[in-house]
Amino acid sequence: MAVAGFHSLGAGTAVASGTAGPTGATEGAAGDWQSYVVGPRKREVAPARVLSTTGDVKNPDALLKPGGAVTVLTRPQPPTPPAWPAGSTATASSFHDPNNGNDGTYTTYDPSNAIDGNPTTFWNDANPATYPAVLTITAGSAVTLPGVTLLSNSDGVPVDFTLETWDGSAWQPAATVTGNSAVQVPVPFAAPVTTTQVRLTVTQDQDTPRGQFTRVNELWPGLVPVIVRPSVTVDFGKVVVGYPRVRFARASADKPGVRLAFSETLQNLTDRSDFARSDYTGGTPTDQFAVPASGADWTDTDGYQSGTQVHAEGLHGFRYVKITLDALGSDAPAALPYGQVAIDAVSLDFTAYLGAPESYGGWFLCSDDDLNRYWYAAAYTNELVTDTFRSTDCDPRGAASPTLEGKLVIQDGAKRDRDPYVGDIAVSGRTLYLTHPDAAAAARNVLADLADHQRPDGWIPPASINGYTLPLFDYPLWWVTCSRDYVLYTGDLAYAAAYYPNLVAVLDSWYTSVTDSSGLLNKGLNNTGGYGDYAFLPRGGEITYYNANYVQALNDAASIARWLGHSADADRWTQRAANVTVAINAHLWDTAAGAYLDSAEGPVRHGQDGNAIAITAGVADPGRAASALAYLDATTKLAYGNAFMDNDTLPGVDGASQRVYAFTSYPEFVARFRSGLADSAIDQIKRTYGAMYTSDPGITAWEGIGPGGTPYEGAFTSMAHGWSTGALPALTNELLGVSPTAPGFSKWVVRPHPGSVLWARGVVPTPHGPLSVQWQAGTKRGEPSFTLRVTAPAGTSGQIAVPASAGYVHHDDIGPGTHTVTVP
């Protein structure tokens, strides 16, 4: 460093100022931060390995090496199954009422479907998870049975069941099956039985996203051999997102079909995708393709291959894909479930933000290697949800929007919902600004679009889903905070000016309409009883989380107002925030527990969301903050993070005290860092992200964690979710200690919270250039010491606060250039 001067700033404290140029994003300890980057280096992504095969598959590893040998899947034409005699009937203990199915087609579920010879229709009992479910078949004439074959549905497989036959006067046991997981299972009898009736009694079904229903497509009168469907499962090594691509070298002439099933986790990899848009819109939750005899270079895109047959969904978020030689019965003759296909290669056209090292505007490293991995894992998770909005790929429930089509956006999840929700951007926006500021338009596009759809009463929609009508109570507050964040990190005051009237309307019209006589937001006023929130929690009345969020939004709005010169608005909102703060502390503080109540009404419980944001928003004084954090530690601490509620009294929410949301954990991390509990914050980060990082699918941050550290909503859970990336801004803003305090980092603060971390360094991108920070904790003459170096870009100034034994030592009005401070 070229030292221009040295100035004493107090006993044991010194700052050196110099003119060394700012460092770019490629500077680091031997440049080794790049080794932590997770994202692919190019758009075409290949699988990491072949995980498994079933049936007749030759040379499976060849699909990892395009252009050479090929992988061959072969399946002979299955035999025609036996049929029941004419006049046979079926009855059941219950059956589901007819409806329009998943695709708007009138569908029946009565028992006769189990003997109609059509494997695509099925008997469906009426009551989920209710046993026994009984199907009785009466033959038109006596039959001699060596056994029967049960064909079920891939999302309704009977696990435990018995079979009985009628001897003319009583039912006789014929077979018992336990632990079944096969869709087609031949059940031999000990000896052939001649009978006129067979009774199937199911006592347990698979638990699926659609519930535990008994579904029987066919109960064939005889043993139908199972020809194992040939399949190959490949593993991409981590969650990826985009359009799957399969290069078929050739196929037999009988139009063999392939079906692709996708999953983010191996546990949920079955014959159906763990999530498909057809789960909402109808159809089959696999992607189909009929392979031409000459082969094909096929990219999975949304649509039909032949008329209204052979459908594929297109884009998927997944780690694993299972490719099976098979076809739907309804796709015949366009695709048939037998023949031979030869595969040359499998890959993915990656659509999300390509986060190669050279794309990073900012980086982070510290002495704790776990924290380094979690920072870059969060960055990759956020890259996966930064993508172009396409109606073919977004949530199918009315989320398609011409005003977003083709624009870069931040979505909530890679797999689902694939819709930009403003609450998610409260976390993922900060993650984006600190890693890839060149993509900041992804946040602006969403914020502006939601404001453009503001209701006349001032309410701002949370997302485009349901035609911008999804009623959430808290997300308009997050729009305010996200708008302030966007301007603070980017300096885009033009956005602030353009949407300032929307800011006024949401705070001064809509939220005042749901404020009660205590001065608190009250969910239920103005017909908001049915409104949801980030987790669709069934709570109403005066809620700490909503009101603490309100204080935060009012103060954020006041900041925007001051930046734009609207001082009267700023003063009014600041005063209202102070009044709400007083009301929260008067009505929602639980003195007995030493924490904020979740709600002023109903059973006593205390939420992570309300307590954490009460601290970060400044509602809680230091005494209340320390007490609330101690309470959360004592009542919500789990091996895989801190639960979002201290007990299970929320109606309709199973296991709230065992459920962890990284979304609401993020403000708790920040609250702990700012309350002088850095090691406690680090411990919580390591428990939360360590549990996700080391569990399948690895690396990416989950939407939510459930009991025992499992995905909280099973296969439906998004395993790469932008709102769960809060470890990254927490580590950069709080541990490294760098935050903006004026639009576009024109002013900034560097205030590290090191805890037991020995050193940290990194670069924060700003519109003026990179802001570089590094610090080292150590000893000097046997006493603790701390050295901090900051390189600030031209056009900025800031404050440095260095931890010392008696608190922080502050240095104000630090200008551009390189500055080093050592304490003592």
pLDDT tens track for 301-338: 999 999 999 999 999 999 999 999 999 989 999 999 99
Find out whether 471 and 530 touch, Cβ atoms under 8 Å. Answer: yes
pLDDT at 7 over 60: no
Distance from C-alpha of 571 to C-alpha of 593, rounded to nearest angstrom: 34
Query: What mean pLDDT is predicted for residues 443-463?
Result: 98
pLDDT tens track for 120-136: 899 999 999 999 999 99
Average pLDDT, rounded, for the chain: 94
Higher pLDDT, 106 or 621: 621
pLDDT at 234 over 70: yes
**What b/e string do you get for 208-233 counting C-beta neighbours within 10 Å, with b at 16 or more?**
bbeebbbbbbbbbbbbbeebebbbbb
pLDDT tens track for 528-573: 999 999 999 999 999 999 999 999 999 999 999 999 999 999 999 9
Distance from C-alpha of 747 to C-alpha of 741, rounded to nearest angstrom: 5
Provide the token pair at 311.
């459908």
Distance from C-alpha of 173 to C-alpha of 158, rounded to nearest angstrom: 18
How far from each other are the two terminal CA atoms of the chain, in whole angstroms? 21
Minimum mean pLDDT range among 4-18, 273-287, 574-588: 4-18
Predicted local confidence at residue 103, as pLDDT: 61
**Residue 753 forms beta bridges with which residues?**
none
User: Which residues have a Cβ under 8 Å from the Cβ of 76 and sit 6 or more positions away?
Assistant: 227, 338
| Amino acid at site 208 | T
Of 29-33, 206-210, 614-618, highest mean pLDDT: 614-618
Predicted local confidence at residue 781, as pLDDT: 73
The pLDDT > 70 percentage for the chain reads 96
| Amino acid at site 641 | G
- Judge if the upstream peptide bond of residue 402 is cis by omega within 30 degrees of 0: no
Distance from C-alpha of 519 to C-alpha of 546, rounded to nearest angstrom: 13
Find out whether 792 and 815 touch, Cβ atoms under 8 Å. Answer: yes
In the block, residue with structure tokens 């951007």: 425
Which sign, positive or negative, has the C-alpha torsion 680, 681, 684, 685? negative
pLDDT at 4 over 80: no
Find out whether 393 and 314 touch, Cβ atoms under 8 Å. Answer: yes
pLDDT tens track for 754-807: 999 999 999 999 999 999 999 999 877 777 899 999 999 999 999 999 999 889
- Local confidence band at 10 (pLDDT 50, 70, 90 cut-offs): very low
Rounded to 5 degrees, what are φ and ψ at 15?
Answer: -130, 135
Predicted local confidence at residue 2, as pLDDT: 27
pLDDT at 576 over 50: yes
Which sign, positive or negative, has the C-alpha torsion 373, 374, 379, 382? positive
Predicted local confidence at residue 669, as pLDDT: 98
Query: What mean pLDDT is predicted for residues 263-274?
Result: 94
- The string of DSSP codes covering 88-135 is -EEEES--PPPB-TTTT--B---GGGGGSS-TT--EE-SSTT-S-EEE
Query: What mean pLDDT is predicted for residues 669-683?
Result: 98
Distance from C-alpha of 26 to C-alpha of 37, rounded to nearest angstrom: 12
Query: What mean pLDDT is predicted for residues 670-699?
Result: 98
87: left (phi over 0), alpha (psi -120 to 50) or beta: left
Most distant CA atoms of the chain, gap in Å: 106
Query: What mean pLDDT is predicted for residues 21-39?
Result: 63
| Amino acid at site 535 | A
pLDDT tens track for 640-653: 999 999 999 999 89
Distance from C-alpha of 503 to C-alpha of 557, rounded to nearest angstrom: 7
| Amino acid at site 497 | A
Provide the token pair at 385.
């949800």
Predicted local confidence at residue 102, as pLDDT: 64
pLDDT at 621 over 90: yes
Alpha helices by DSSP H, listed for 132-202, are none
- Local confidence band at 31 (pLDDT 50, 70, 90 cut-offs): low
User: Which residues have a Cβ under 8 Å from the Cβ of 720 and sit 6 or more positions away?
Assistant: 239, 241, 264, 317, 381, 384, 385, 413, 414, 415, 697, 700, 701, 702
Distance from C-alpha of 169 to C-alpha of 171, rounded to nearest angstrom: 7
- Local confidence band at 19 (pLDDT 50, 70, 90 cut-offs): very low
- Local confidence band at 12 (pLDDT 50, 70, 90 cut-offs): very low
pLDDT tens track for 400-436: 999 999 999 999 999 999 999 999 999 999 999 999 9
Question: By C-alpha distance, which of 465, 303, 466 is closest to 392?
Answer: 303
pLDDT at 515 over 80: yes
pTM of this prediction? 0.89
CB atoms within 10 A of CB 672: 29
